[in-house]
Amino acid sequence: MVSYNSPMQCDVAVIGAGVFGAWTAYQLRLAGASVLLLDAYGPGNSRASSGGETRIMRLGYGPDEIYSRSAQRSMVLWRQLFEKTGNNLFRKTGLLWLARERDAYCEATLTTLQRIGANYERLDREELARRFPQLAFGPIAWGLLEPDSGALLARRAVQAVAAQVDYIEAAIASPKTQGGKLNSIQTTGGKEIAAQQFVFACGPWLPKLFPDLLSKLIHVTRQEVFFLGVPPGDDSFNAGVLPAWIDFNDLVYSIPNVDGRGFKLAIDAHGPEFDPDRGERVVTTSGLNAVREYLAQRVPRLANAPVIETRVCQYENTSNGDFLIDRHPAFENVWLIGGGSGHGFKHGPTVGEYAAELITGRGTPEPRFSLATKQRVRQREVY
Ligand SMILES: Cc1cc2nc3c(=O)[nH]c(=O)nc-3n(C[C@H](O)[C@H](O)[C@H](O)COP(=O)(O)OP(=O)(O)OC[C@H]3O[C@@H](n4cnc5c(N)ncnc54)[C@H](O)[C@@H]3O)c2cc1C
């Protein structure tokens, strides 16, 4: 731990200890750099996009092999970290895709999983009903199971990564200079931190920190998450019995009861614009009604189950869902990392690895992560 009063100087200052910033700091440290990680509210705090209880770890991404391969590599790096810390924060629940008769996304996912050599099972409707009687399949015609996927215990996992590097709690003001080389940043408390390179991995705060550049390119949307209480003594909604599942035709995903937190269900459609500092995190009646309506169709036994916990989080969406990992166009030594777009958590390790390579001059830029490819018109393509 770095003392708050000592003069602060390092090779790289990483601002933002969400999953992207924490992994970037850790990968830079592994590459030999001296790193200082900073966060205004703490690693995996309740306002951060990474601050939830659980996040799905899956390989399938339709035709987007780049993300499937990234998830596959990330799984290895997450496992290595958990082996190192001696605390496994991954729950191998399996991940089930619920597919319609003609389902371009799930068919493309199956092809991609074959191409990358991943384990999977294609389940027909009868097999689905036999193995998962907790679900009512309605228009679902078949399923695709990723047996090795599951859920990461998100908040705790981010904290485990952040614990690998020097960290201080401090809010950083937007850089005042207009461009060129940034020599130091200021905390809102007036401390100065000097570094060779600066990484702003501030997730949904990026448009606030760099409004001229990013306010039209990253859209922060309000998302509601519900945890339903399962019947007493009933293990059929538990991790190990029921997998996590995704029904993108209805834009719904679910994580089974992990560590007694309840059966998690959320609607993945983008909500209204949201302020991550000031926004109230209380769910709406309309959100709850939509969840109950969906439960009645797909998980009838939980249709009237009590809500035992709720969360309001935010997605930080780029125009199409591709991440933003690029140099700030006006500063030679400032990097922007964000745009997780509702699917970024699992990729923390590879985002950090890729960013560390770019920052240390070893990497090859991927056009899909560049600032230049980010559009103003929103057209979601990556799920
Ligand atoms: C409800 C919900 C469900 C999701 N489900 C999944 C899922 O199942 N699987 C998956 O892979 N992904 C999922 N995601 C997406 C994933 O959680 C995000 O893409 C990811 O957490 C983004 O991480 P980040 O580090 O970019 O941002 P954050 O986690 O928001 O981190 C940014 C950090 O920057 C700090 N910060 C901001 N401004 C400053 C400043 N000025 N000074 C200092 N610090 C600052 C903040 O305090 C914060 O800790 C989900 C997201 C949400 C909201």
Distances in Å between the alpha carbon of 327 and those of 66, 196, 208, 330?
21, 14, 17, 8
pLDDT score, position 177: 80
Q: In which residue are the tokens 């996992």 written?
A: 157
Read off the pLDDT of residues 354-370 as tens digits, 9 standing for 90 and up.
999 999 999 999 999 99
Ligand 1 atom closest to residue 204's alpha carbon, by position in its atom list: 30
User: Distance, CA 5 to ligand 1 centroid (Å)?
Assistant: 28
Task: Specify the pLDDT at position 6.
Answer: 57
Ligand 1 pocket, residues with Cβ under 6 angstroms: 15-21, 38-41, 45, 48-50, 52, 55-56, 171-172, 201-205, 209, 223, 225, 266, 313-315, 338, 340, 342-346
The fold adopted by the segment(s) 8-50+156-217+320-373 is FAD/NAD(P)-binding domain (3.50.50)
The architecture of the domain spanning 91-151+219-317 is: 2-Layer Sandwich (3.30)
Instruction: Work out the average pLDDT over 6-12.
Output: 82
* Tens-place pLDDT, residues 316-339: 999 999 999 999 999 999 999 999
**Listed residue (346, 336, 341) closest to 316, CA to CA:** 341
Structure tokens at 198: 């600066």
What is the CA(169)–ligand 1 centre distance, in A? 16
What's at 242, amino acid-wise? L
What is the mean pLDDT of the segment spanning 34-39? 98
Domain spans of the chain, in order of start: 8-50+156-217+320-373, 91-151+219-317
- For the cut 70, the answer to whether the pLDDT of residue 5 exceeds it is no
- Categorize the per-residue pLDDT at 178 as very low, low, confident or very high, splitting at 50, 70 and 90: confident
CA of 234 to the centre of ligand 1 (A): 33
pLDDT bracket for residue 1 (50, 70, 90): very low
If DSSP codes are grouped into helix, strand and coil, which group holds residue 371?
helix
Q: How many residues does the chain have?
A: 383
Whether this model's pTM surpasses 0.85 = yes
Instruction: Choose the residue to mutate in 14, 15, 23, 49 for probing ligand 1, maximizing ligand atoms within 8 Å of C-beta.
Output: 49
The two tokens of residue 205 are: 């705060």
- For residues 210 and 20, is the Cβ–Cβ distance under 8 A? no
pLDDT digits (tens, 9 = 90+) for 50-109: 999 999 999 999 999 999 999 999 999 999 999 999 999 999 999 999 999 999 999 999
On average, the pLDDT of the chain sits at 96
Work out the angle at residue 119's Cα, subtended by the Cα atoms of residues 26 and 263, and round it to the nearest 5 degrees: 70
Average pLDDT over residues 205-224: 97
pLDDT tens-digit readout, 233-283: 999 999 999 999 999 999 999 999 999 999 999 999 999 999 999 999 999
Relative orientation angle of helices 65-85 and 104-115, to the nearest 10 degrees: 60
Q: Are strands 142-146 and 35-39 parallel, antiparallel or unpaired?
A: unpaired
